Amino acid sequence: MFAKVRPILKDVVFLGTLIVTIGSFAGAFFSYLLQFILARYLSVQDYGTFNALLSLFYIVGVPATVLSTSLIKLISRLKSADAFDKITQLFWPV
């Protein structure tokens, strides 16, 4: 059983995915904890302002997520076509 799991655990892609997943869970936990603490200690007006600003940041984050997903797909397609010169020009314009 462990002989089959060890190569998976040593895979760079798996480890990167695991790190991102753990980081996402930790961020979500601390976000929940922050919401709970601020709800207890802020006034209603201040907590409403905090939630309005938090919503604004989430709304601004949607286009950033869309752009990053599109960039990842573009780079993956260029990498599969072995077009490293075009990938390099995306990051270091000549």
Give the per-residue pLDDT at 13.
83
Q: Is pLDDT of 83 > 90? A: no
Q: Is pLDDT of 81 > 80? A: yes
Answer whether 79's CB lies under 8 Å from 91's CB. Answer: no
CA distances from 42 to 34, 51, 58, 87 (A): 11, 11, 21, 48
pLDDT digits (tens, 9 = 90+) for 3-48: 777 887 787 888 888 899 999 999 999 999 999 999 999 999 999 9
- Rounded to 10 degrees, what is the CA torsion of 74, 80, 82, 86? 0
Q: How far apart are CA 35 and CA 52, in angstroms?
A: 13
Q: How far apart are CA 18 and CA 61, in angstroms?
A: 23
Q: How far apart are CA 34 and CA 32, in angstroms?
A: 5
pLDDT digits (tens, 9 = 90+) for 48-67: 999 999 999 989 999 999 99
Q: Is pLDDT of 94 > 70? A: no
Q: Is pLDDT of 93 > 70? A: no
The residue extents of the domains of the chain are: 1-41, 43-94
Q: How far apart are CA 72 and CA 90, in angstroms?
A: 12
* Element containing residue 37 per DSSP (H, E): helix 12-41
The model's pTM: 0.56
